[in-house]
Amino acid sequence: MTSIRLRTAGRPRRAARLALAALLAPLAGCAHHAPVVEYFPADGALTGQKVPFSPAVRVGWTLYLAGQIGTDSTGHLVSGGIQPETRQVLTNISRVLEQHGSSLDRVVKCTVFLADMKEWPAMNEVYATFFPEHFPARSAFGTTGLARGARVEIECIATVAKR
């Protein structure tokens, strides 16, 4: 542990040490009480296989979601292009958020991956309907390909209500 020596001008040392202790007290617990990390592994029910990532990880009051693609309840990519896929992706995200104590209105950041950046306006039309009252911070990237031939993949970060 590092000690701090105080030099005071006109103040008693004890008062200065107490003032510093009061300022540092909230930080003192950080080293001893790291936030709890919970991993929520995939069950493989849709794909029939285990995957080497967690669909969601909770750290303290923050929930990190892995990227979601537009697969339906049978595990197949929905047909119809970017808009139906975006709708399914955000429906999947909503489901995962709710399973872990959050919701779309608690999303603070999204990252969107598109197989073709020309589809950004069409994706954005659907995306905006899922966030009617607030818009999370967002980044969007064009890719050279997405898993299973998807047109769009979205990951997000959300806050979680206290238990």
pLDDT of residue 2: 45
Q: What secondary structure, in 3-state letters, does the chain show?
A: CCCCCCCCCCCCHHHHHHHHHHHHHHHHHHHHCCCCEEEECCCCCCCCCCCCCCCEEEECCEEEEEEECCECCCCCECCCCHHHHHHHHHHHHHHHHHHCCCCHHHEEEEEEEECCHHHHHHHHHHHHHHCCCCCCEEEEEECCCCHHHCCEEEEEEEECCCC
pLDDT of residue 39: 85
pLDDT digits (tens, 9 = 90+) for 68-101: 999 999 999 999 999 999 999 999 999 999 999 9
Partner residues linked to 59 by β-bridges: 37, 62
pLDDT digits (tens, 9 = 90+) for 46-57: 455 677 888 999
Q: Model pTM?
A: 0.76
pLDDT digits (tens, 9 = 90+) for 92-135: 999 999 999 999 999 999 999 999 999 999 999 999 999 999 99
Domain residues of the chain, as ranges? 6-33, 37-159
Which residue, among 6, 24, 114, 23, has the nearest Cα to 70 in the 3D structure?
Answer: 114
pLDDT of residue 31: 52
φ, ψ for residue 68 (rounded to 5)? Answer: -115, 140
In CATH terms, the fold of domain 37-159 is 60s Ribosomal Protein L30; Chain: A; (3.30.1330)
The Cα–Cα gap between 15 and 94 comes to: 52
Percent of the residues in the chain that have a pLDDT greater than 90, as a whole number:
63
The Cα–Cα gap between 153 and 143 comes to: 10
Which residue, among 136, 156, 147, 157, has the nearest Cα to 70 in the 3D structure?
Answer: 147
